[in-house]
Amino acid sequence: MHARVNEMVVLLRAFAADTVRICTEYAADGRVGGQMQVQAAQGVLAEMLKEQNTVTAYYSVLVRELIRVTTDLAKGKTTEKINAGAASGDLLELITAVNQLVDRLAASPPAA
């Protein structure tokens, strides 16, 4: 029993360390796309790991789409929009606002 508890402590520490790493990449370093990699995760921890990686992958795609479309807008290209996919809530509002901006700029007469 003692050995199993120690294994769980080691696993939880690894999980916590990887969670901190991903949060630091996002919040402090401004990097998206990081995936957690806790090799020995099983059961509920493995499910949490999978879900966390799914969420970070989803947000990474959305952030990269926002970067792509807003960069195109900055270059005067008004042909690309963001595919909202399964977005909802605040993310859907942001995507909708960017896509509406693209539409309005595309419909505007060119600046002289």
Residue-wise pLDDT tens digits, 11-39: 888 888 888 888 888 878 888 888 888 88
Query: Is 10 contained in some domain?
Result: yes
Name the DSSP class of 108: S
* Arithmetic mean of pLDDT over the chain: 86
Query: For 41-94, how does the pLDDT look when each residue is reduced to its tens digit (9 = 90+)?
Result: 788 888 888 888 888 888 888 889 999 999 999 998 999 999 888 788 998 999
Query: Is 112 contained in some domain?
Result: no
Query: Is 69 contained in some domain?
Result: yes
Distance in angstroms (rounded) separating the CA atoms of residues 26 and 29: 6
pLDDT number for residue 40: 77
pLDDT number for residue 97: 94
Residue 2 has pLDDT above 90, yes or no: no
Q: What is the CATH number of the domain that holds 31?
A: 1.20.120.1530
pLDDT number for residue 94: 92
- The residue among 112 and 59 whose pLDDT is bigger is 59
How far, in Å, are 4, 9, 15, 49, 95 from residue 12 at the CA level?
12, 5, 5, 12, 36
Host domain of residue 24: 2-107
User: Structural domain tally of the chain?
Assistant: 1
% pLDDT > 70, the chain? 98
